[in-house]
Amino acid sequence: MIIILIGYMASGKSTIGKKLAKKLNYDLIDLDDYIEEKEQLTVTDIFKNKGEIYFRKQETHYLKQLLSANESFILSLGGGTPCFGNNMELILNETNAKSIYLKASLPKLVKKLIKKKAKRPLIAHIETEEALTEFIGKHLFERSAFYNQAEVVVATDGKSKKEIVNEIVSRLF
């Protein structure tokens, strides 16, 4: 089974993905890392040199490639991946895959991202906590229709990483 982790940036996809992979003895594939390896460019450079439309087309291409694998692994998607093209439809129609939405609250996301915004090109330019809250809130509103289509929704606020991993495992197996 392919376990697909979706959610907003800083929702825990990478961290939970690593812990879940260890618990289940699965490989973890980060879609952005996979794209960078295949394209021989960073995601930032792809956006800068080839544009977002090119990136989104390649993202869908590599998502399809990974979904067609007859293997078990954990796939961590970029925050925007489910929201573009027919990516969410591809995920939901794949019989060998289960999608998990790691749902973090707006205050929790802001608290985590305010410290890391320099490393996040999408929000690096945002100056104040109020502006960041407004930006993330707007994004979450736009993206929640896609995220909430996931087969399993796991609210992460107030839970340890171990509790989140155990909840995912208990809801999948």
Residues annotated within a binding site for Mg(2+): 14
| Contact yes or no for 101/6 (Cβ under 8 A) | yes
- What are the phi and psi torsion angles at 28 (to 5°)? -115, 130
Binding-site positions for substrate read: 32, 56, 79, 143
Binding-site positions read: 10-15, 32, 56, 79, 120, 143
| Contact yes or no for 72/26 (Cβ under 8 A) | yes
Residue found under tokens 């439809």: 89
Binding-site positions for ATP read: 10-15, 120
Which residues in 119-140 are b (16+ Cβ under 10 Å) and which e?
eeeebeebeeeeebbebbeebb
Kindly tell me the sign of the dihedral angle through the C-alpha atoms of 41, 45, 47, 48. negative
